[in-house]
Chain A
Amino acid sequence: MLIFEQLLNGLQYGMTLFLMAAGLTLVFGVMGLINLAHGSLYMIGAFACAVVAAATGSFWLGVAASLAAAAAAGALMELLVIRRLYRRDHLDQVLATFALILIFSEGTRWLFGSFPLYLTLPPSLSGTVTLPGGLVYPVFRFAVIVLGLAIAGGLFWLMRGTRLGIRIRAGEADREMIGALGVDISKLYTVVFALGAALAGLAGALVGAVQSVQVGMGEPVLILAFVVVVIGGIGSIGGALVSAILVGMTDSLGKALLPGMLAQVMPQAAANTLGASLASMSVYILMAVVLVWRPTGLFGARA
């Protein structure tokens, strides 16, 4: 029973990571841009949701606001800053988007203060459900799993079944050629960037409701999102989904099982600290193993 619950937790954590990583891998893959400020868009989503939910009393209006605010911030960011970075090397991109993190963080503090904001789940998402077999599981975590799968499905359809998706994939393959074929590539990039930003904002609003909405909340998630993107293969939505679930499972099961397994061979106290340390390393060990085996990630294009 416990192990089944931990598997569900791993799946749910993976879906949370997927929401973050999907936008990142789109931008990374299509534009070849390393956007460290993706975490700031996640923070903007959470803050927009908290502010609108507090003002209107409706969590769902807050979620809508988080999509709009993050997409708008993303589009603005692309027009003003990112656009100048496509032809520069990755170091310039890292420096510029790191500067954006600082600007967004201090700007948010300036507007909303240094104390964490209040954001909670609506009644329809709080509480628990009892699964077949008697397992009690929070409704919210279920909703995240369902939403994650829905968004993954939506993105597949967007990439495979729509004109925009064809253009995005074409832009990924050869940006000069689709420009020559008459596609307005700069507008396409703005749209992709805003889409990625909106996904990050949605993740911020949803996950923010069970976390702390505060300045700097995006950076820890960003690191894991990059791990997911790298394991999955840069630019691959499917890869991001598989890798997010893999990372979520590794993290959840590592934390749940390692201390107990180590306790078989060493004293409990030492097993607790060592197990916790190994669990926090496990995701990065997974990344290293995958990269040794497949240097471009699980679903990355072979060089």
Chain B
Amino acid sequence: MKLLSTLSLAAALMAGTAFAAPVKVGMITTLSGGGAGLGMDTRDGFDLALKLAGDAASEITVVTEDDQQKPDVAVQIADKMIQSDNVDILTGIVWSNLAMAVVPAAVQQGKFYLSTNAGPSALAGAQCDPNYFSVSYQNDNFHEAAGQAAMDAGYKNVFIMAPNYPAGQDALTGFKRYYTGELAGEIYTQVGQTDYAGEIAQIRDSGADAVFFFLPGGMGISFIKQYAGSGVTTPLIGPAFSFSQDVLPAVGDAALGIRNTASWAPDLDNEANHKFVEAFKEEYGRIPSVYAAQAYDTANLILSAAAKADVTDADAFREALREADFDSVRGNFTFGPNQHPIQDLYVREVVKDADGVLTNKIVGVAIEDRGDAYAEQCSM
């Protein structure tokens, strides 16, 4: 008996020491300029998880810097965080072009990078790295789900549209991976375009039975408002980025009823999510976005790994991260062989909640347990 209690005491002490190992996290995200809303949700979601963890987070310190949505600034910040702040983990980048500028160099210097949002295909495939984890998704995922949702809805002739840059081309590729019907039209718009009269005229003329579009940020707000005022009634479908909580209030009622796809929604029914959404509203006075949810999960993943292993023991810490032993707000969550998520992707619909605030509610599952299309190109 004595032996048993001594052993358990020793185990508790050892667990305690693992807990006590300090972890320094460098958060690089966008806090100024037009994309600042996304970065603020990322930062706030991450901070909230640490706050709710209480003592368990006492050894975790976070340094946060604004990348201004510029790749060169992000690279400078990353260098400074690695060389003079001595961070163990980097995280927080919203945009894929910034991630491509920062991640390869950071992981080569032995740092961990945990993505709260950007999931470019290169980092999921040929350039995958043992120190790189995407906690959010692979970029194609939401578009693939939209393709499946279009199939499930019985659409046979879809008009598809995205901005002419890598993430836009990936979006259309991802959509077409699951949607196998006819295309009524396929157009690339300009990045930062604000007027969509020409595209709407083409949609009207095409005879499409649905429109798939990926237009993140202000581009989506402009398009949805102009589409609603154009008299064209072809249903819209798209990834969650144009219907996320950061843009919905600006779009207004024009967004009501539009189907969109994501790995998460505020009403997703699991205990971790109820706790997260309540606490976020309490703390910040707004409904969280998918960016906040992904950042919240990232912080909890770090906490779960720090409880099991010392971050200075990279191999043990990496193993602990791979286990993904935390309660995700997205429900089922595991890592695939390329350290990208395997998760369910949902169809959501824009509705008004009891307070009259626009938000999303889940109306169905698009794809269950989706990994990504690039895992087999990753040799790790």
Q: Which residues of A contact B (CB under 8 A)?
A: 1-2, 5-6, 9, 12-13, 16, 105-106, 109, 114-121, 126-128, 136, 138, 140-141, 207, 209-217, 220-221, 252, 255-256, 259, 268-269, 272-273, 275-277, 279-280
**Inter-subunit contact B197/A220 (CB<8 Å):** no
B40's nearest neighbour on chain A, judged by CB, is A114
**Inter-subunit contact B186/A13 (CB<8 Å):** no
User: Contact mask B209-249 → A, CB, 8 Å, 1/0?
Assistant: 00000000111011001100111000000000000001101
Pair count A-B, CB < 8 A: 127
**Inter-subunit contact B164/A277 (CB<8 Å):** yes
Residue in contact with A106 in the complex, picked from B32, B190, B222, B252, CB distance below 8 Å: B32
Residue in contact with A276 in the complex, picked from B34, B190, B204, B254, CB distance below 8 Å: B190
- Nearest Cβ on chain A to B354's Cβ, whole angstroms: 20
Measured between beta carbons, the chain A residues less than 8 angstroms from B229 are 121, 126-128, 138, 140, 210
Given the complex of chains A and B, what is the CA–CA distance between A256 and B204 in angstroms?
Answer: 13
Residue in contact with A280 in the complex, picked from B40, B164, B225, B252, CB distance below 8 Å: B164
Given the complex of chains A and B, what is the CA–CA distance between A109 and B40 in angstroms?
Answer: 12
Measured between beta carbons, the chain A residues less than 8 angstroms from B164 are 273, 276-277, 280
- Counting chain B CB atoms within 10 Å of each CB, the highest count among A16, A105, A212, A256 belongs to A212
Q: Offer 22 A-B interface pairs, CB within 8 angstroms, sorted by A.
A: A9-B197, A13-B195, A106-B32, A114-B31, A117-B250, A120-B254, A136-B204, A138-B226, A138-B230, A141-B197, A211-B221, A212-B217, A220-B194, A252-B197, A252-B198, A256-B198, A269-B186, A272-B188, A273-B164, A276-B188, A276-B190, A280-B164
Instruction: Kindly state whether residue B205 has any CB partner on chain A within 8 Å.
Output: yes
Given the complex of chains A and B, what is the CA–CA distance between A219 and B41 in angstroms?
Answer: 24
Measured between beta carbons, the chain A residues less than 8 angstroms from B201 are 2, 5-6, 9, 256
- Nearest Cβ on chain A to B220's Cβ, whole angstroms: 8
- Nearest Cβ on chain B to A267's Cβ, whole angstroms: 12
**Inter-subunit contact A116/B247 (CB<8 Å):** yes
**Inter-subunit contact A118/B230 (CB<8 Å):** no
A275's nearest neighbour on chain B, judged by CB, is B188
A130's nearest neighbour on chain B, judged by CB, is B231
**Inter-subunit contact A109/B250 (CB<8 Å):** no
Given the complex of chains A and B, what is the CA–CA distance between A114 and B186 in angstroms?
Answer: 33
Measured between beta carbons, the chain B residues less than 8 angstroms from A252 are 197-198
Number of interface residues of B (CB under 8 A): 42
Given A2-B202, A214-B34, A220-B194, verify A273-B222 contact (CB < 8 Å): no
For the complex of A and B, 5 pairs with smallest distance between CB atoms: A212-B218, A276-B188, A116-B250, A212-B221, A216-B34
**Inter-subunit contact B250/A115 (CB<8 Å):** yes
Given the complex of chains A and B, what is the CA–CA distance between A114 and B69 in angstroms?
Answer: 14
Given the complex of chains A and B, what is the CA–CA distance between A13 and B193 in angstroms?
Answer: 12
Measured between beta carbons, the chain A residues less than 8 angstroms from B222 are 210-212
Measured between beta carbons, the chain A residues less than 8 angstroms from B54 are none
Instruction: Kindly state whether residue B258 has any CB partner on chain A within 8 Å.
Output: no
**Inter-subunit contact B250/A105 (CB<8 Å):** no
Given the complex of chains A and B, what is the CA–CA distance between A275 and B186 in angstroms?
Answer: 11
B221's nearest neighbour on chain A, judged by CB, is A212
Measured between beta carbons, the chain B residues less than 8 angstroms from A213 are 250
Given the complex of chains A and B, what is the CA–CA distance between A141 and B230 in angstroms?
Answer: 10
A215's nearest neighbour on chain B, judged by CB, is B34
Measured between beta carbons, the chain B residues less than 8 angstroms from A136 are 204, 231
Given the complex of chains A and B, what is the CA–CA distance between A217 and B205 in angstroms?
Answer: 30
- Counting chain A CB atoms within 10 Å of each CB, the highest count among B188, B219, B221, B251 belongs to B188
Given the complex of chains A and B, what is the CA–CA distance between A114 and B33 in angstroms?
Answer: 8
**Inter-subunit contact A272/B250 (CB<8 Å):** no
- Nearest Cβ on chain B to A182's Cβ, whole angstroms: 45
Residue in contact with A211 in the complex, picked from B40, B199, B218, CB distance below 8 Å: B218
**Inter-subunit contact A128/B230 (CB<8 Å):** yes
**Inter-subunit contact A210/B226 (CB<8 Å):** yes
**Inter-subunit contact A259/B187 (CB<8 Å):** yes
Measured between beta carbons, the chain A residues less than 8 angstroms from B188 are 272-273, 275-277
Given the complex of chains A and B, what is the CA–CA distance between A215 and B34 in angstroms?
Answer: 5
